[in-house]
Amino acid sequence: MQPEIWISTGVLVVAIALFVSDRLRLDVVALMALLVLALTGVLTLEEALAGFSNPVVLMMVGLFVVGAALSDTGVADWLAHRLEALAGQSETRLVTTVMLVTASLSAFMSSTGTVTVLLPVVGTLAQRRGVPASRVLMPLALAAHLGSMLTLISTAPNLIASEALRRAGRAPFQFFSYFPAGIVILTVGIVFFVAYARRKLPAGDTQRAQRMLSPDDLGREYGLLDCMHTAEVVEGSKLIGMTLAEASLRPNHHVTVVGIQGHRGAKRVLPGTVFEEGDLLRVHGAWDPVSRAVDHWGLELLSPESGVAPSLSLAPEESVVELVIPRRSRLAGRSLKESRFRDRHSGTVLAVRRGREEPAMSLSAPEFKDFTLRAGDVLLVKGRRKYLQNLREERRDFVLLSEPDGQTTFVDRGRALFALAVTLGMLVVMAFGWLPSVLVILLAAVLMVLRHCVSAREAYRAVGWESVVLVAGMIPVSFALEKSGAMGLVVGWLEPRLFGLNPWLVLGLLMLTTSIMGLVVSNTATALLVAPAAVRLATALDLAPEPLLMGVAVAASGAFATPIASPVNSLVMAPGGYRFADYVRVGAPLQILVLVTGLAVIPWIFPF
């Protein structure tokens, strides 16, 4: 066996192992694979770098920019808020509407982007209707995957399958080539959820769902009010005339001032806020530190019996929201102190909740500032409403779970109409094939930047560079397997064993393999590895490659059965209160149902 075969195969095996372990970023693994193949001479320099000029990579970059423009101009949020009129009052109608709208939006945006836009809207709608979040958030996430099966541009595996056809000398898939099979699969998925799976989801906190939670409700749920005390600045107190920064209550006494109630109403808790006689301070901390601080500053501690109930005591313009940290957030792996959350986002993290069983950690804990955040953590944040609303734009780092009080949908009418017109024009040109898709998408992206629908800086920030570099780095790996002969050996081994089998069985085995890989490896990496093999297999067995590649794309997007199979799945895990077993109980049957439906439908649309 030639050394090139051993090297390319070894690179593939190590890359898959690193993908599964999730110890390194996917893009870093892809670049390492590319470098090994180039340095060992398996690929020339031009071949190793060819992935970065591949049409799939350029289309992905352009689509990220178009999606950012739709979000920044308010188009996506406006569409999301139309759910209010469609959702009705029943849980069945809410789940059905959420899945339909999510799938429709996911057909033109990334699944992760779709869920981050819809999550706060859906969370608020569920609260208003008394439906537990656990009954709607998993349908939201899995509908985003189902919507990825509707159009060419909805997800990277669809683009990869189309590019594999082009490289094989066949006509690539068109914009709506996926739609006939995708709409059938989506319909089956919605029926499955409404008729069966919805009842298998955890019931959630029914009492929580039956009312809109006030800031004090959230404070009580996170255990904040259990350590909340009220102290009055009485005559002779040493705090009178001092600012909050000068008092240094938190650094010196381990006591945090959460609210200040003055003579003229609630005051904002700022470093420059001056204490006055008669102020009621809502302080958070353990009993001993609070007692020592009260004695030191000459305050009077008020008991609940005095008529002052524990409360966050927010200023009129303040509110609290819950945020969830997604995978690859810049906050993941950093402490609250290192992230400088308050300085960067003008909000105060009051508590952090991790997992369904673990109690929330509040700001009274000595280790709170040094607590290392992880993906999936939920943060309770206090701040002014206008700053909390601005957090919606930081979707890369955290996602709102519900709308802040008084939230209004911002739409820049002129730019929004332009962004919508450019997007519709892009879709029409692609649907009719008047220009190559890569040129159409790049043109749309450039027009969005020129018209300031998204700034150049925000356009670069919006691109999911991990996915882009992953595709650009793994394309040479596929080429190395082909060039070295490793792919030929695998296909040569499979050919006599599959020869004579029913083509439907061949498609089923290929989809099953792709689906299983997709549970532990990203759907993009899975499609990159399996699509070239599907083309070679089709040639060896004298089958049309179209149904096999369509099956690969559908199976790659059907990653439902584990929370780690996709960032979308992990994004709703903590907010929905799901366990790993919940994904298996609901996602595994849906994944099998999608494979069976795809196997039944795809050959009728693309014959063997």
In DSSP terms, which residues pair with 283 in a beta bridge?
229, 257
Enter the pTM of the model: 0.74
Per-residue pLDDT averaged across 576-595, rounded? 86
CATH 3.30.70.1450 for domain 225-306, yes or no, is yes
Q: What is the pLDDT of residues 407-423, one digit of tens each?
A: 555 566 788 889 889 98
Tokens found for residue 354: 């991790």
Q: pLDDT at residue 603 above 90?
A: yes
CB 546 within 8 A of CB 170: yes
Per-residue confidence (pLDDT) for residue 532, from 0 to 100: 86
Per-residue confidence (pLDDT) for residue 221, from 0 to 100: 74
Q: pLDDT at residue 210 above 50?
A: no
Per-residue confidence (pLDDT) for residue 561, from 0 to 100: 79
As annotated, the residues of the chain forming the CATH 3.30.70.1450 domain(s) are 225-306, 321-400
Query: Quick count: other Cβ atoms within 10 Å of Cβ 89?
Result: 10
What DSSP assignment string belongs to 505-549? Answer: HHHHHHHHHHHHHHTTS-HHHHHHHHHHHHHHHHHHTT--HHHHH
Confidence of residue 528 (pLDDT cuts 50, 70, 90): confident
Per-residue confidence (pLDDT) for residue 602, from 0 to 100: 93
Q: What is the pLDDT of residues 338-390, one digit of tens each?
A: 888 877 777 788 888 876 656 677 766 667 777 888 877 888 888 777 677 76
Q: What is the pLDDT of residues 60-106, one digit of tens each?
A: 888 888 888 887 787 776 776 677 677 767 788 888 888 998 898 88
Confidence of residue 316 (pLDDT cuts 50, 70, 90): low
Distance of CA 279 to the CA centre of its chain: 43
Q: What is the pLDDT of residues 218-257, one digit of tens each?
A: 777 777 777 788 888 888 888 888 888 888 887 787 788 8
Integer Cα distance of 297 and 318 in angstroms: 27
CATH 3.30.70.1450 for domain 321-400, yes or no, is yes
Q: Which residues contact 414 (CB under 8 A, 6 or more apart)?
A: none
Per-residue pLDDT averaged across 384-403, rounded? 72
Q: pLDDT at residue 37 above 80?
A: yes
Per-residue confidence (pLDDT) for residue 183, from 0 to 100: 94
Per-residue pLDDT averaged across 272-297, rounded? 84
State the residue for tokens 């066949």: 170
